């Protein structure tokens, strides 16, 4: 697509800071730049620590979603999982209650400063709430080495784990832990090894994962993510990067366009926000979210408007990333 001019993007952009219902990824507020194009609203929200080269891909995704028609959907609703941050076990039930009808839970593990005993207690609490029919997947965010991952997977196996997401950092480590766990029938999913890699297909070529986690923003938009899934030849789970409902709508568009959708998607994370930017947030209802464009609400944009200093920071970031995309 031909990129819109920077002045047009900045004129159509609003920056918000939303409170989190539960601290997640070390933050209690989520900042995002939202922009309205001819096709509707889109979100640019790479995490603050990401450099401009990485963040530019997120901007490409936002501009594509706001300025270009998207692939035709193959389904009208997307089943989603609950997301359980690295909280104490006694908080699990309250968090799961925010995810109406979800039959699957993704549980954060390997949190810095916590122990495997904390992880086991958290997963045990999830299983107790969800019962034997619920599905539990765990996400280590590359927090283990291979030996730690093997030990943890064995310890968590009693809870009937659907898969382990990004247990280790490198593709070689993922390949090794996948081989070690093959007899345990615990699949390995790759997230960071796809969305943060120079070559998002390397993990598939190496036979290092059973499942790929794809996110529309980090991969440059719906069409590019669809191409990666097609080339990888592996089942895909569409997830979010703690987006507002506007960002989640792009994730839902990606999930809706996939030829096959074998797993519940990680697109229910609006439930982790204490506020949103739309009058109809994409909260799970009956375990699913609809596939639809989400309009921003002017009153909510104003109520959660970021400070002038933070707004200036995001405008400068967009300016730098836009220059990278256009070669200016």
- Looking at the annotation, which residues are catalytic? 108, 215
285 in a labelled binding site: no
CB burial of 287-326 (b: ≥16 within 10 Å; e: otherwise) equals: bbbebbebbbbeebeeebebeeebbebbbebbeebbeeee
| Token digits of residue 114 | 């916590």
276 in a labelled binding site: no
HEC assignment per residue over 32-77: EEEEEECCEEEEECCCCCCCHHHHHHHHHHHHHHHHCCCCCCCCCE
Q: Residue 239 phi/psi, 5° resolution?
A: -130, 175
Q: Which alpha helices (DSSP H) does 165-293 contain, by range?
A: 171-181, 192-195, 202-205, 222-232, 245-257
185 in a labelled binding site: no
Three-state DSSP class for 189? strand
Strand pairing category for 27-37 and 13-24: antiparallel
Residue 201 · residue 219 · CB < 8 Å: no
Question: From the annotation, which residues make up the binding site for Mg(2+)?
Answer: 139, 165, 191
Question: From the annotation, which residues make up the binding site?
Answer: 139, 165, 191
């Amino acid at each position: 697509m031909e990129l819109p001019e920077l002045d047009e993007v900045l004129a159509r952009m609003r920056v918000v800071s939303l409170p989190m219902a539960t601290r997640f990824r070390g933050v209690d507020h989520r900042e995002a730049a939202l922009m309205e194009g001819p096709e509707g609203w889109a979100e640019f929200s790479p995490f603050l620590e990401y450099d401009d080269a990485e963040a530019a891909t997120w901007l490409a995704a936002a501009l594509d979603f706001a300025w270009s028609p998207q692939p035709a959907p193959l389904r009208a609703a997307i089943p989603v999982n609950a997301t359980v941050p690295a909280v104490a076990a006694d908080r699990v039930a309250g968090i799961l209650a925010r995810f109406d009808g979800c039959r699957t839970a993704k549980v954060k593990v390997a949190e810095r400063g916590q122990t495997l005993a904390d992880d086991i207690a958290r997963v045990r609490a999830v299983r107790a709430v969800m019962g034997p029919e619920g599905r539990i997947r765990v996400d280590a965010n590359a927090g283990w080495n291979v030996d730690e991952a093997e030990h943890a997977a064995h310890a968590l196996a009693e809870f009937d784990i659907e898969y382990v997401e990004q247990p280790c950092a490198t593709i070689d480590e993922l390949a090794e832990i996948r081989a070690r766990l093959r007899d345990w029938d615990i699949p390995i999913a790759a997230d960071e090894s796809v969305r943060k890699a120079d070559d998002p297909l390397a993990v598939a070529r190496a036979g290092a994962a059973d499942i790929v986690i794809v996110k529309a923003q980090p991969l440059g938009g719906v069409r590019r993510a669809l191409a990666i899934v097609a080339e990888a030849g592996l089942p895909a789970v569409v997830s979010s990067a703690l987006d507002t409902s506007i960002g989640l709508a792009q994730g839902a568009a990606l999930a809706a366009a996939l030829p096959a959708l074998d797993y519940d998607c990680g697109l229910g994370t609006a439930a982790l926000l204490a506020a949103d930017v739309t009058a109809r947030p994409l909260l799970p209802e009956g375990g699913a979210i609809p596939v639809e464009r989400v309009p921003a609400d002017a009153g909510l944009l104003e109520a959660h408007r970021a400070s002038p200093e933070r707004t200036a920071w995001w405008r400068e970031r967009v300016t730098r990333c836009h220059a990278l995309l256009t070669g200016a």
